[in-house]
């Protein structure tokens, strides 16, 4: 047993029983069919290769055409997409893996050129600073959602959850991080509304919690989780008091007894593009310690972890499991490499997004 042995202890996460505490984080890889958003055979191969993880969290998967933010991203809005995901899930289950759908709406973090001319939606008409990655054009001022728009999107999340359950997913994770729609409602910099969905932390949390309630209706509380980035800067995000906001949100999620919260504990050097906002660790240097008491369920730590720092975080009680993104790209057998202290393979950043199987499903397991 090495000093990372706690990573290989089983963990009960809601209704799920994980054989280890190493989670594959959601990663946008843009390998689905660009026109249909259907996961294909290489997507099934990619996820099944990584089935030894305690839990796989899929790439962000859209619940509405208005959420389309990347070429080659996945959807859960059609029967064809359900059938595509069934192949992925079956491939993972054949290797005794567990897989959860990360369900998602991009909100303002997209562009009308990706949505057939439809202007992006957001809680308030505030554009992201900078250029949209996918279309290489400045971000647009989004349409401020009406109450009817909000109800429609909540319903779209529920319908997406029904399709996810039909496909056979073991659980669902709401994407509430990284400056996408749920995150946009949560944080004060992007939510300037003066109705029941804006203003106080209670009101700004309402959209997120109403979606969670719908997901719980479909999957049951023991198979629902959420990912959050309380101090993340990606997509030009900021909140004036993240500890107050997320303490309230975590307590509300605790009341609902959902299975897990995945927390991105962003670091200064990874958020240098802060658009004038203070870097995260200067704002909240001890984020995990402050939020941990507000949620009794499983917390999954995320961002920049190694096997050693993940094990330390679990031993210290900051989180119960750890999710890894970049390390899983070049190491499909990451669990085995961690366990046997084997050398980790590098991955090619030029092949992270889009393309074919190269740089995606062609990384071999450890070969000595």
Q: CATH homologous superfamily for 5-351?
A: Aldolase class I (3.20.20.70)
Beta strands in 146-266 (DSSP E): 171-176, 224-228, 260-264
Under the banding of pLDDT at 50, 70 and 90, the label for residue 32 is very high
pLDDT of residue 2: 61
Residue written as tokens 């055979």? 41
For 283-319, the pLDDT digits (tens) are 787 889 999 999 999 999 998 899 999 999 999 999 9
pLDDT of residue 273: 40
CA distance 125 to 193: 10
Whether 78 contacts 36, CB under 8 Å: yes
Evaluate if residue 275 carries a pLDDT over 80. Answer: no
For 215-251, the pLDDT digits (tens) are 999 999 999 999 999 998 889 999 999 999 999 999 9
Catalytic residue among 46, 47, 180, 328: 180
Strand partners, 16: 13
Percent of the chain at pLDDT exceeding 90: 89
Exposure string of 182-216, with b = 16+ CB inside 10 Å and e = fewer, is: bbbbbbbbbbebeeebbeebebbbbbbbbbbebbb
Answering whether pTM is above 0.85, one says: yes
Q: Enumerate the domain spans of the chain.
A: 5-351
Evaluate if residue 143 carries a pLDDT over 50. Answer: yes
Under the banding of pLDDT at 50, 70 and 90, the label for residue 343 is very high
Is 363 a residue of the active site? no
Evaluate if residue 268 carries a pLDDT over 70. Answer: no
């Amino acid at each position: 047993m090495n000093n990372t042995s706690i990573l290989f202890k089983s963990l009960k996460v809601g209704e799920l029983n994980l054989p280890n505490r190493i989670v594959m984080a959601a990663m946008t890889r843009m390998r689905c069919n660009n026109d249909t958003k259907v996961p294909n055979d290489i997507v099934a191969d990619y996820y099944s290769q990584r089935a030894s993880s305690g839990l796989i969290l899929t790439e962000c998967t859209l619940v509405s055409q208005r959420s389309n933010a990347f070429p080659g991203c996945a959807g859960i809005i059609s029967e064809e997409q359900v059938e595509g995901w069934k192949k992925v899930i079956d491939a993972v289950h054949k290797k005794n893996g567990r897989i959860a759908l990360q369900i998602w709406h991009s909100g303002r973090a997209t562009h009308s050129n990706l949505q057939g001319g439809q202007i992006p939606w957001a809680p308030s008409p505030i554009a992201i600073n900078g250029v949209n990655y996918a279309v290489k054009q400045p971000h647009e001022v989004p349409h401020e959602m009406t109450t009817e728009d909000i109800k429609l999107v909540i319903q779209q999340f529920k319908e997406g959850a029904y399709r996810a359950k039909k496909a056979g997913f073991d659980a669902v994770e709401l994407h509430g991080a990284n400056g996408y729609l749920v995150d946009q409602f949560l944080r004060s910099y992007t939510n300037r509304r003066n109705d029941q969905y804006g203003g106080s932390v209670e009101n700004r949390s309402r959209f997120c919690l109403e979606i969670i309630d719908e997901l719980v209706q479909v999957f049951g509380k023991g198979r629902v989780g959420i990912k959050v980035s309380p101090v993340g800067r990606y997509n030009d995000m900021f909140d004036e008091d993240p500890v107050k906001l997320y303490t309230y949100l975590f307590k509300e999620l605790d009341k609902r007894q959902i299975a897990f919260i995945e927390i991105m504990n962003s670091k200064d050097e990874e958020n240098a593009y802060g658009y004038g906002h203070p870097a995260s660790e200067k704002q909240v240097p001890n984020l995990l310690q402050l939020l941990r008491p507000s949620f009794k369920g499983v917390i999954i730590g995320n961002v920049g972890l190694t096997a050693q720092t993940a094990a330390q975080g679990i031993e210290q009680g900051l989180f119960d499991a750890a999710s890894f993104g970049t390390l899983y790209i070049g190491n499909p057998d990451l669990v085995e490499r961690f366990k046997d202290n084997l050398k980790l393979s590098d991955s090619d950043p030029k092949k992270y997004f889009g393309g074919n199987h190269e740089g995606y499903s062609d990384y071999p397991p450890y070969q000595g």
